Amino acid sequence: MMKRLCLAFLIAVILAPWSAAHSRESKTVAVLPFQINAQEDLNYLQNEIPELIKKQLRDADAVIVEPDSGVISTWQQARGNPDIAAQIGAKAGAENIVWGSLTRMGQRFSLDAKLLTISGKTVLKKFYAEGEGIDDLLSTIGRLADDISLSLFGQETISELRLEGNRRIETDAIMRYIRTKPGDVYMPKKLSDDLKSVYSMGYFEDIRIEYKDSVDGKIIIFKVDEKPTIRRIKFKGNDAYDNEEIMEIMNIKSGSILNIFKIQNNIIRIENLYKEKNYHNVKVTYSVNELENNQGDLLFIIEEGDKVRIREISFEGNTVYPDKTLKRVIKTDEKGFWYFISSSGELNRDDLKQDVSILASFYHNRGYIQAKVGAPLVEFRDDMIYIKFKITEGPRFTVGYVGITGDLIIPEDQLRERMMITQEAYYNRETVRNDVLAITDIYSDEGYAYADIFPRIQKDFDNLKVDIEFIVKKGRQVYFEAIIIGGNTKTRDKVIRRELKVFEQELFSGRRLKRSMRNLFRLDFFEDVKVDTMEGSGDDKMVLKIDVVEKATGSFSLGGGYSSVEYAYATASVTQRNLFGRGQNLQLKAQISGVSQTYMLSFTEPYFLDKRLSTGFDIYNQTRDYTQYDKDSIGGKVRLSFPTWDFTRFFWNYRYDISDVYNINDDAANSIQEMEGVNVTSSTKVTMKYDSRDKIFNTTEGSLNSIAVEYAGLGGDIAFTKYVGESGWFFPMFLGTVGMIHGKLGYVQENPDGFLPDYDKFYLGGMNSVRGFEWRDIHAVDENGDTVGGNSMVQINIEYQIPLVPTAGVVGVVFVDVGQVYGEDEPIDLEQTRESAGGGFRWYSPMGPIRLEYGYILDPLPGETRGRWEFSMGTVF
């Protein structure tokens, strides 16, 4: 196809001028400077006009000869003498000499030209043209040159232009690319240019120019052969990407011209797409199935090959840290054992670029401030990738003098106490950066919003020390002149403002501003919260603009799951978390499982009377099947809470519950048999809770601590006092892993004016207490040896969480659980605790948290199993 196209092009370009040139004699022409007659200075035109005439005569196949520059001055003195013109032309070898003049009168001008032919009989011809305005000069010169060409070569004009062969491309669209028009002088060079112009449209495989003689002149015929169009694009052999994904990156579509260059370009695009997924051995070819009406189906044939993975990562120049240590630092990793279900060994170019910075930071944060890491060398060998990092470590620098100068708002020694670099033995760039942020926060909390802290680093190469001087420019204290809230169409302004820790006419505080944004996000009313600060009416004033993007806060949900306690269960709820834009929460929910049915209506007002006092109520109806009895409960609760300190809230509630206990097993303990019938609980409970966890599921840092006291006996049949203390701590560790220690203590005693039911005592066992044991499997026994709940309990959980697929929220966990329940008057004895250990997986899936964990009992009693799997999916309430 390409050879045919190129051959047709060459024939069309070469033969058309050749056939025309041989149909008439070659003419040699010398064009002399024109004389300019005008009041203003237009002398530059005496050479410009001849140049324009020369160009047009060349297009008409005239041979232009140039006289010697020495004779031009003689010609200018001759002032148009034909004899002198003939002598100049003869000396230059020209058979035809052209000269003339331009006369300008006001806006009008006239062009006079003479053509002197000195071969054979000498003939002098005169030509005349006129126009108005200098802008019309170019076209006027063109007309004059056409007249001269006609005189030189005879009356060869174009009488008609025709177009043949086009079926899809409109004639008018093609004609716009052809400059030659009917009535123009026949110029082969100009037609050749027209042919190139039409070819540049990209729609034609072959273009030819033919001509016919007629009485009125030459008839020019452009014959075009259109390229086929693509009817359909197909793919074969693609598994890693579907057809739609490949089409998204291509720049040809159905209906496009079948252009070989574009096809090759799209082959490269497809191959690059596959290489992004590490199919570096991919090969793409194509075929065309020709159809009627000059159409074709284009088929891309894809040979994907196997994924190319990283076989080896090596380092060159590292002497301080071994390859094994550096491999743990970078994001890129080698092909692992579980590569077929993970992304290990896949080459990600963006990660590879970041690895260079990560390695450099690793060295810089350990005193090697001269360390350099070169761009990694990536080598493909068959179906494997080999990567090498070149490292120049340099010497290690210790921390020398550390000082703070400039605008100090507190004594230097107090600022130094808050800096961490003073505690480092070796220079650490990350620590210095964090110290800059820490000092900046100190100044911003005092209103210096534009404080500038710059660390000046001085390297002592002789002693390998780094002296650090923090230079402080505090600027002016800034006040919040106004706080503007926008974007909220439903949520009321006061709901947003009450979450802010910054206020108008108060000093700027970066720490309180960050906390304000955190509070707004925790409301979960907004998809996004944007903060912008603008200059106020003075250089010590700032306008704070908060723009929110609201999201739907009302929802209706259906769901379900499974747990080792509830078995299969289904849930349904109707919730409005921002009722009437007031921030109130109203929820109606129901859950039905294999062992229970629960229905609940809840309402919460987070700011009662516009105070930081949360109030609410719950009404519930619950039926539950316990191992030894069944219980139906109906009741309600009123509650309130308010913040006391940072991350800390005080909770109070009053509960009234009517429970009917029935279907008690005959072999149940006497204390359980005594519960049969209706029991009324009237209790109050106070709780102090500190919660600084970064997130509820898959927590990585923070702690949850609480202490609660419940007193029952404000009426009703049941009277007891229950104390429960709980503390859980999360510690971020290396490589994104997390350690967790959790402890829980409980004690309950019966009060004299009522009795303590078994369902208000303590049991352990199951996924949320001591894994490996069945639910409520750890219990106390009464004086008859019967199973009962305990009056006290202790529980300890230790976990090590390992992120397996961080982007998907998949975490592996290993654990040790310890716990025991003690009967009445039985002291807590840690030597009697039950222990288990195990591991499992957790996934924060779109349908809710999923847990799969196996607990192995370390001290099984006779008749007990050694362990069991625990599984839960979804959230149980």
Using pLDDT thresholds of 50, 70 and 90, give the confidence band for residue 341. low
pLDDT at 766: 86
Using pLDDT thresholds of 50, 70 and 90, give the confidence band for residue 7. very low
- Range in 128-132, 384-388, 534-538, 556-560 the model is least confident about: 556-560
> 552-561: long-range contacts (C-beta < 8 A, 24 or more apart)?
553/524, 553/525, 553/577, 553/578, 554/578, 559/847, 559/848, 559/874, 560/874, 561/847, 561/848, 561/872, 561/873, 561/874, 561/875, 561/876
Q: CA 727, CA 325: separation in Å to the nearest integer? A: 35
pLDDT at 566: 61
Angle at 137 between CA 131 and CA 141, to 5 degrees: 95
DSSP symbol at 181: -
Using pLDDT thresholds of 50, 70 and 90, give the confidence band for residue 269. very high
Greatest mean pLDDT among 105-109, 122-126, 154-158, 478-482: 478-482
Q: Is the pLDDT confidence value at 22 over 70?
A: no
Q: CA 186, CA 23: separation in Å to the nearest integer? A: 12
Higher local confidence (pLDDT), 526 or 683? 683
CA distances from 749 to 188, 264, 764, 790 (A): 114, 83, 18, 10
Query: If we measure between CA atoms, which residue out of 3, 7, 1 comes closest to residue 207?
Result: 7
Query: If we measure between CA atoms, which residue out of 781, 819, 826, 782 comes closest to residue 798?
Result: 819
Residue 72: Cβ within 10 Å count = 14
Percentage, residues of the chain above pLDDT 70: 93
Average pLDDT (600-609) is 92
Q: Is the pLDDT confidence value at 877 over 50?
A: no
pTM confidence score: 0.52
C-beta separation of 773 from 764 below 8 A: yes
Q: Is the pLDDT confidence value at 312 over 80?
A: yes
Q: What are 747-762's pLDDT values in tens digits?
A: 999 998 889 999 999 9
Percentage, residues of the chain above pLDDT 90: 40
Higher local confidence (pLDDT), 302 or 524? 302
Q: What are 548-586's pLDDT values in tens digits?
A: 888 887 777 665 555 555 667 677 888 888 888 888 889
Q: Is the pLDDT confidence value at 438 over 60?
A: yes
Q: Which residue has the tokens 């410009």?
A: 48
Q: What are 81-119's pLDDT values in tens digits?
A: 888 888 888 888 898 999 999 888 888 888 999 999 887
Cα dihedral 577/581/584/585 (nearest 10): -20
pLDDT at 348: 82
C-beta separation of 440 from 406 below 8 A: no
What is the enclosing helix (H) or strand (E) of 75? helix 72-78
CA distances from 216 to 147, 156, 223, 401, 530 (A): 17, 9, 21, 99, 76
pLDDT at 876: 40
pLDDT at 9: 40
Higher local confidence (pLDDT), 6 or 819? 819
Kindly report the average pLDDT of the chain as a whole number: 86
User: Which amino acid would we find at residue 761?
Assistant: K
- Range in 122-131, 420-429, 841-850 the model is least confident about: 841-850
Higher local confidence (pLDDT), 184 or 651? 651
Rg for the chain, CA atoms, rounded: 46
- Range in 148-162, 312-326, 349-363, 854-868 the model is least confident about: 148-162
Q: What are 723-742's pLDDT values in tens digits?
A: 999 999 999 998 889 999 99
Q: φ and ψ at 427, to 5 degrees? A: -60, 135
pLDDT at 561: 54
Q: What are 765-776's pLDDT values in tens digits?
A: 988 899 999 888
User: Which amino acid would we find at residue 126?
Assistant: K
Q: Is the pLDDT confidence value at 14 over 60?
A: no
Q: What are 655-681's pLDDT values in tens digits?
A: 999 999 999 988 888 888 888 999 999
pLDDT at 837: 96
Average pLDDT (230-255) is 90
pLDDT at 525: 85
Q: Is the pLDDT confidence value at 30 over 50?
A: yes
Task: Report the Cα 874 to chain-centroid distance in Å.
Answer: 29
- Range in 28-37, 433-442, 549-558, 647-656 the model is least confident about: 549-558
pLDDT at 132: 85
User: Which residues does 187 contact at the CB level (< 8 Å), separation at least 6?
Assistant: 59, 60, 61, 149, 180
Q: CA 414, CA 423: separation in Å to the nearest integer? A: 15
Q: Is the pLDDT confidence value at 340 over 90?
A: no
pLDDT at 124: 85
- Range in 546-550, 718-722, 793-797 the model is least confident about: 546-550
